Structure 1
């Protein structure tokens, strides 16, 4: 089988028909530099914001993050349990009566 990321006429046809996913755009040096600068700015703004908070505010922020993580874990676990319960169903139960003679 051919590489689906290869630039060929055949792969272009398959992309037009929706058989292959659209080709990912190549990342240029310019775009990479922009992403790097944006990430640095986000980190610096977060550090500056956290640096201005008091210890009580930092503790409250940490508690909020812990609670959000626990809620997300709970949602995932409930979804897993529901999926497991759906798989374990195997039809319906029929009450049968045995008659002895």
Structure 2
């Protein structure tokens, strides 16, 4: 599994860091005090290692074709609609920094 950086290497105690999943563009880890916690981006987005946030696939090198032939705009609308109806769980998205 994913191993977080040593907490002693983090500049400020209590600060979390985000790290890309090694094989899945939509997934990432949040490390809090050396413990890795898995998270995932909303449908239609992928994790951007430059901004450390979820982003459109075309903005993330190597993840441009993550969704293949699926229409990303339609996926995002579906996700937004579900959130509006409270059918979607946001528990897999990381806290904002």
Q: Which structure shows the higher strand fraction?
A: 2
Q: Which structure shows the higher helix fraction?
A: 1
* TM-score category, normalised to shorter length: under 0.3
Name which one, 1 or 2, has greater alpha-carbon Rg. Answer: 1
* TM-score, scaled to structure 1: 0.26
